[in-house]
């Protein structure tokens, strides 16, 4: 099977024509349709030729068949697939060289993120549709959310930023323990690498240093605590700032306002 290099950008709002779940043993029919076909393989194997490219899909894979592009089966397959037929503006493009965070960019074949149960999500949408609980706008919004999830995962994969990477583990460690004193020694002991190595790995993923990202995380949590009425001194301590005045400096530099100004905005006295 040939390596997939065909990417598409989908734009606007989707209009769902039909969706469902099929379990069968057959050759995929030869078709040239006017809508997109998103298939998510739940079990078995599905082989499809898209133009002059052949693909074999197994559980955990998806395929995206563009409109007005001829596709057909390759082999007799026993398979179970969730499918969505939908209309949406789109265009072909080269594989992305940088993240388009607010864009739906997808190759015609790819994998599902393992940390999201998209099988259950699509099954839920299918049942809502069958029971006539879901209107057109509901289905369109959820299909678009599904496309964004696949896009984010495949774009990060294209950039070499796989979920579950060491850089992501460092980020989650910072997010979970932002209130602790997280010096270089703590990180080195936890990840068994030098701080310089960790910082290099982290910077390639997030384009910033571990120290700066930790400050950003702490300030965001500080903001949330302040607007919930906690005192400035308590917030500084709870978010890992041992130096009260350094906290004030970091907060003002990050958000452009002081903690005191923020509290005055949210808690005006009558």
Tell me the per-residue pLDDT of 33-51, one tens digit each, with 9 for 90 and over.
Answer: 999 999 999 999 999 998 8
- Predicted local distance difference test score (pLDDT) of residue 150: 95
User: Sorting pLDDT into bands at 50, 70 and 90, what band is 268?
Assistant: low
Question: Does residue 156 register a pLDDT over 90?
Answer: no
- Predicted local distance difference test score (pLDDT) of residue 270: 46
The average pLDDT across 101-113 equals 93
The residue among 199, 201, 116 whose CA lies nearest residue 154 is: 116
Whether 7-159 and 166-266 share one fold: the answer is: no
CATH placement of domain 166-266: 1.10.10.60
Question: Does residue 192 register a pLDDT over 60?
Answer: yes
Tell me the per-residue pLDDT of 51-87, one tens digit each, with 9 for 90 and over.
Answer: 888 999 999 999 999 999 999 999 999 999 999 999 9
Tell me the per-residue pLDDT of 194-211, one tens digit each, with 9 for 90 and over.
Answer: 999 999 999 988 889 999
- Predicted local distance difference test score (pLDDT) of residue 2: 42
User: Sorting pLDDT into bands at 50, 70 and 90, what band is 130?
Assistant: confident
pTM of the model: 0.70
Question: Could you tell me the residue ranges of all domains in the chain?
Answer: 7-159, 166-266
Q: Which fold has domain 7-159?
A: Jelly Rolls (2.60.120)
The average pLDDT across 256-265 equals 90
- Predicted local distance difference test score (pLDDT) of residue 162: 61
User: Sorting pLDDT into bands at 50, 70 and 90, what band is 164?
Assistant: low
Question: Does residue 3 register a pLDDT over 50?
Answer: no
* Pair 73, 28: CB distance under 8 Å: yes
């Amino acid at each position: 099977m040939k390596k997939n290099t065909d990417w598409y950008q989908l734009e606007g709002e989707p209009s769902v024509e039909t969706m469902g779940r099929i379990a069968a043993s057959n050759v995929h029919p030869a078709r040239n349709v006017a809508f997109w076909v998103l298939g998510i393989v739940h079990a078995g194997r599905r082989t499809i030729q898209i133009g002059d490219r052949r693909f074999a899909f197994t559980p955990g894979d998806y395929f995206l068949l563009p409109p007005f592009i001829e596709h057909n089966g390759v082999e007799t397959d026993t398979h179970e697939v969730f499918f969505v037929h939908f209309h949406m503006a789109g265009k072909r493009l080269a594989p992305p060289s940088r993240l388009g965070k607010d864009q739906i960019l997808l190759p015609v074949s790819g994998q599902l993120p393992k940390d999201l149960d998209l099988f259950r999500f699509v099954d839920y949408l299918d049942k809502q549709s069958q029971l006539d609980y879901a209107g057109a706008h509901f289905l369109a919004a959820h299909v678009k959310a599904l496309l964004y999830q696949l896009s984010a995962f495949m774009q990060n994969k294209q950039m070499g930023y796989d979920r579950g990477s060491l850089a992501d583990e460092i980020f989650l460690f910072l997010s979970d323990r932002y209130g602790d004193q997280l010096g270089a020694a703590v990180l080195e002991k936890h990840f068994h690498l030098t701080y310089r190595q960790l910082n290099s790995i982290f910077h390639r993923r997030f384009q910033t240093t571990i120290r700066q990202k930790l400050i950003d995380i702490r300030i965001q949590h500080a903001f949330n605590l302040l607007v919930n009425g906690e005192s400035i001194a308590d917030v500084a301590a709870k978010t890992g700032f041992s130096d009260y005045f350094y906290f004030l400096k970091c907060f003002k530099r990050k958000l452009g306002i002081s903690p005191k100004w923020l509290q005055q905005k949210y808690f005006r006295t009558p």
